[in-house]
Structure 1
Amino acid sequence: MTLPALVLAVTLVASSVDTLQNGIASLILARSEQQGVSLVAARWVTILLMVPVVVIALQGLSVLRLFLIADLLCAAIVVPVLLGLWQRMTPIAAIGGGIAGLLGAILPGWLSQGSFISGVVAASFPGSIPTLGPFVGALIASTLISVLLASMIKNSEYLAFMMQSTQDKPRYV
C-alpha cells in the first residue's frame, strides 16, 4: 500500500512542477513574441528552469523540510496576493508586503538567536522540525506592510490628484 501511494505522490508533484515550468516558458514565449523569441528559445528557458531543481534535488534534503520551506514562502506572500482583490492595493505594496513577509519569517530566529544567519537557518527548519514563529512572523509582517504601503501610496496619489485638479480649475473672484 505504501509503494502505490509514494508513486502517486511523486507523480503528482512531478506533474505540478513540470506544468509550472512549461507555463513559465509559455508565458515568456507569448510575452516576447513581438521581439522575435522562437520556440527553441522557449525550450531553452524550460531547460534552464530545471537547473535549480536538479541542484536542490542533488542535495538530498528532507522532503518534509522542503515542503515546510515552500509553505513558509506561501505564508509570506499569501496576504499581499489576496489583498490584490482590494481596490486600494498597488503592485508596489504587494511586492513590499512579500519582501516584508520573507523578512518576518527570519525575524523570530534572528531575535531569539542574535544573528541574521541564525534567523535564516531557523526559518529553513533544520532537522525538519516545524515551528510556528516563522509562519506567524511572515503573516504579520506581510499583512502590516502591505496595508501600510497601500494606504500610503493611495493617499499620496489622492493628494497629488487633488492638488493637480485644484490647480487646473479657473478661479472666480
Structure 2
Amino acid sequence: MFGFIGILAVGILPEDANHSIVLFDTIMKISPQWVIMIFLVLAVMLVASSLDTLFNSISSIIGTDLKDFLSKDSNSPFTISLSKAMKITPYLCLIPAVIIASQGYSVLYLFLIADMVCCAILFPVFFGLYSSKFNGNDAVISMITGLIIGTLLFPNPDLVTFEWFKSIPYSGDLFASFYMSFISSALISFLLFVKNNISSRQGFVFSSLNKNISSLD
C-alpha cells in the first residue's frame, strides 16, 4: 500500500513535494486525534521490531565476535570489561542515529541506499555459503568493491547526479547503481574464487560444522 500511494503521489503532486511521507501527511490532516495516536503507536511498534533486531546484532558483534577476536582468555579483565560495554553499546549507537534522523532526510532515499547495499552484498554472502574456496576476507573485498561502484553511480537525495561524479558514465542512474554494485561484487567474487582454486588454497571444510555446531534439541 505504501508503494502504491507513493507512486500515485509522484504522478499527482508537484516535483518539490516529499512523496515518501505523503501517506503520513494525509493521515495527520484528515484523521481525528485518536486515529493519529493509534497510527503513531503502530508506527513505533514497527520501528521497534526492527530496532530490537539491530540492537541484538550489534551486541552480538561487540560481545561475542569482537571479544573472541581481541582476547582468547574469557576471564581476562579486558574481556570482562568488553562484556560490560556490550550492554551500553547499542544505546551509544542511538546518538548518531538521532543526529541523522534530525536532518529530515527522505525515508524513500534511505530505503534506496539500503537496497543498493543489499545488491552489493547479495552475491558474496550466498556464494560463500556454497563455495569452500571463497572465504570471509574474499567476501568483504567483494562487498566493498560493490559498495564503492554503487556509491559512485548513486544519485543524490534529489535523485540527480552528484556534482563531483558528473564525469562518470551513468552517474545518477538509480538502476545503474543497483546493477553495477551487484555485477561488480559478483565479478570480484568470481575472480577471487578462481584465484583460490589456481593457488590450491585450502578451502573451508563444511563437514566441520557438524562438530562445531550442535543441534538445539
TM-score by shorter chain over 0.5: yes
CA distance 1:29–1:108, change in 2 (3 Å): closer
Aligned with 1:11 (options 20, 39, 45):
45
Superposed displacement of residue 15, structure 1:
1.8
Query: Which residue type is aligned with residue 16 of structure 1?
Result: S
CA distance 1:67–1:158, change in 2 (3 Å): closer
Q: Normalized against structure 2, the TM-score is what? A: 0.57
Larger mean CA deviation between 147-156 and 134-143 belongs to 147-156
> CA separation in 2, counterparts of 1:81 and 1:21?
21
Unpaired segments ≥5 residues, structure 1: 124-129, 160-173
Contact in 2 for aligned 1:25/1:46 (Cα 8 Å): yes
Query: Which residue type is aligned with residue 58 of structure 1?
Result: S
Superposed displacement of residue 115, structure 1:
3.9
Q: Work out whether 1:103 is the aligned partner of 2:148.
A: yes
Alignment of 1:132-171 (within 5 A): 132-158=175-201
Larger mean CA deviation between 10-19 and 54-63 belongs to 10-19
| 1:45 corresponding residue in structure 2 | 89
Q: Normalized against structure 1, the TM-score is what? A: 0.70
SS class of match (2:101): helix
Aligned with 2:139 (options 86, 94, 101):
94
Query: Which is bigger in relative contact order (C-alpha 8 A, separation at least 6)?
Result: 1
Aligned with 1:20 (options 38, 54, 77):
54
> CA separation in 1, counterparts of 2:39 and 2:128?
37
CA distance 1:58–1:88, change in 2 (3 Å): same
Aligned with 1:79 (options 120, 123, 148):
123
CA distance 1:109–1:7, change in 2 (3 Å): same
> CA separation in 2, counterparts of 1:49 and 1:38?
16
**Identity fraction in percent:** 38
SS class of match (2:200): helix
Aligned residue pair count: 150
Superposed displacement of residue 10, structure 1:
4.2
> CA separation in 1, counterparts of 2:56 and 2:117?
21
Superposed displacement of residue 71, structure 1:
1.0
Contact in 1 for aligned 2:119/2:178 (Cα 8 Å): yes
Output one character per residue of 1:17-69: Cα deviation in whole Å (capped at 9) or x when no partner: 23211332144224438121365422221222222211211111111111111
- Structure with more of its chain in helix, by fraction: 1
The alignment's C-alpha RMSD in Å is 3.2
| 2:109 corresponding residue in structure 1 | 65
